[in-house]
A and B are shown apart, each in its own frame.
Chain A
Amino acid sequence: MVAVAATEDVLIQRPSAFRRLLRRKGAVVGLVVVVVFVTIALLAPWLAPYDPIATNFLLVRKAPSALHWLGTDEIGRDLASRLIYGARASLQAGVISVMIAIAFGVPLGLLSGYSKGWVDSLMMRIVDAFLACPFLILAIAMAAFLGPSLTNAMIAIGLTQMPIFVRLIRGQVLAVTVEDYVEAARALGNPHLRIAVRHVLPNIVAPVLVQATLAIAQATLAEAALSFLGLGQQPPEPSWGSMLNVARQFISQAPWMAWWPGLAIATVVLAFNLLGDGLRDALDPKEV
């Protein structure tokens, strides 16, 4: 038996997924930017130099200066402070709406993929119908239906993203349920719910994580779009989308009003996309 132990214990070691992620430059840049923005959002009250909703009619549309280093807006509010507080709305909307999408998408996807048969067919046709509509149009329609507020915008974005998760999870579940270890779990007398939640779900976390990261980018952009249209964050509370909306009217007199929120949206969305791409590569079992 000693000989057996010696010859049979072949250890196959692979660097952990996190290490593989850190080997990718793009992913590291994305991760750093995301962490920086999250920190800014969390520490907004301490970082912001001024009250983001305090107006000052002596400082209307001032260009960036030593006192207001990103300038001021049309009613004299400090743009840097608004941008910092706006990160809260944007990131919140990105993360919470994806959480809503996952909270509904995972159980529905599991149900669809695990039950197969007519339940699956019916759910997939409904998902098809959802996915046939352009994402933003659907989100706008739903947000308009729910009424303008940041919470409703998040719900609208989450529900609009849900079908993507249902479809993704269902496909993964179909692939995993034919694995021998699921058969083995059934042979041990496990009930269906336990097999689905304990044996199937952990094996599909990786693609869901990747999709979630990319979805956060999409949701952040969608929140900006909804706020731009007045369906998201309501004034005077700052959000990057609504800042852009106001800046639009002053694009020739005070272009800096549009620069910063535009730059912030682009940076965060790019960072989440880079991170998602990196995660996808790092979690790919074929990658070493």
Chain B
Amino acid sequence: MSASLLAVGALSTEFKTDQGRFRAVDEVSFSLEKGRTLGIVGESGCGKSVTALSIMGLVPSPPGYIVGGSIRFEGEELIGLTTERYQSLRGNRMGMIFQEPMTSLNPAFTVGDQIGEAIIRHEQVSQAESKRRTIELLRRVRIPSPEKRYDDYPHKLSGGMRQRAMIAMALSCSPDLLIADEPTTALDVTIQAQILELLAELRAETGMAIMLITHDLGVIAEMADEVVVMYAGRVIERAPAAALFASPQHPYTIGLMGSIPRLDLEQDRLAAIEGQVPNLVSLPKGCRFRARCPFAVAACAESDPPLIEVAAGHEAACLRAPLEVA
């Protein structure tokens, strides 16, 4: 593989709680090339967001700690990086947008101030230059009349506009990597589509890589080149997006796809995945998905299956993969 922009290897992040330690992220590995989009899918609490925070060095500590693995960003190891070095990367080389646009902007400052802050901090430009570039950014994220919005306080903007402002903020220093943590979850569907379209356009314009975290397979299908499916802190399937949708190999992925409404099939009810995500503090032995898996056999209780290649570039962590489609 050529030099990746981001290479995460066996990353493990633990949290200490009163009930004990639990691994929110368990030996997660993936890599991301320049100009590509990596989708990370999974249900709530599967470790998607903690993976993102680990990369950004923002895991709240205490109680969270990165306990192992490596994160290499353009060849530089991020784990154990000094605070100063990390601060010079964040917002500059890597940007992040959050799920909740309504609360992600500081109510005490104007939109322009907040976006310009990163530019001034990382590139030591003058006030006037930062203002010019901020207005340019607002225009690039398709915010109408950016000169007026520059002086607006966040409460004057709607959710979609705020998310655009957040994207502008994350893009302020032309990052190489943009981590988007559920960027459209809190928005209604028409705005969702606009934001996704905007992200795709910006990626094409700037050549940045996007790490897109979502629980929405529809978003993945639209945006991602590669997909990582996570379950209970582990990567259980990794494949190019097309291959994943054509032939999902892990029973969990199959289950996720069964729970999307489709127009081309006659369906009475959506198939749900029965049961719940196991408690990460006291994980059962064997495969984590076993209790909910319709394909489980006795051997699944023996050990946690590793990721194995089932087809070129397509890996799944299931003893029974590749599944023969009956």
Contact = CB atoms under 8 A, between A and B. Distances in A.
Contacts of A189: 86-92, 118, 121-122
Interface in A83-108: none
B229 interface: no
A124 B87 CA distance: 30
Contact of B106 (A181, A191, A194): A181
Contact of B158 (A2, A9, A180, A185): A9
Interface residues of B, number: 42
A187 B96 CA distance: 6
B158 A199 contact: no
B58 interface: yes
Contacts of B83: 191
B194 interface: yes
Given A180-B103, A183-B98, A189-B88, A202 B109 contact: yes
A185 B170 CA distance: 10
Interface string A187-205: 1111100100001001100
B158 A181 contact: no
Nearest to B118: A188
Interface of A is mostly: helix
Contacts of A180: 98, 100, 103-104
Contacts of B104: 180-181, 183-184
Contact of B121 (A9, A187, A190, A199): A190
Interface residues of A, number: 27
A58 interface: no
A1 B143 CA distance: 8
A1 B107 CA distance: 25
Given A180-B104, A184-B166, A190 B91 contact: yes
A184 B98 contact: yes
A188 B117 CA distance: 9
A129 interface: no
A180 B169 CA distance: 14
B103 A179 contact: yes
B314 to A, nearest CB: 32
Interface in A28-44: none
A5 B144 contact: yes
B156 A188 contact: no
A1 B194 CA distance: 10
For the complex of A and B, list the 7 residue pairs with the smallest distance between their C-beta atoms, beginning with the closest: A188-B91, A189-B90, A189-B91, A202-B108, A5-B144, A8-B158, A187-B96
10 contacts: A9-B158, A117-B62, A181-B105, A181-B107, A184-B169, A185-B106, A187-B98, A189-B121, A191-B83, A203-B108
Given A9-B161, A180-B103, 20 more contacts: A5-B144, A8-B160, A8-B161, A12-B155, A12-B156, A179-B103, A181-B103, A181-B106, A183-B104, A184-B169, A185-B117, A187-B91, A187-B170, A188-B90, A188-B117, A190-B117, A191-B87, A194-B121, A199-B108, A202-B108
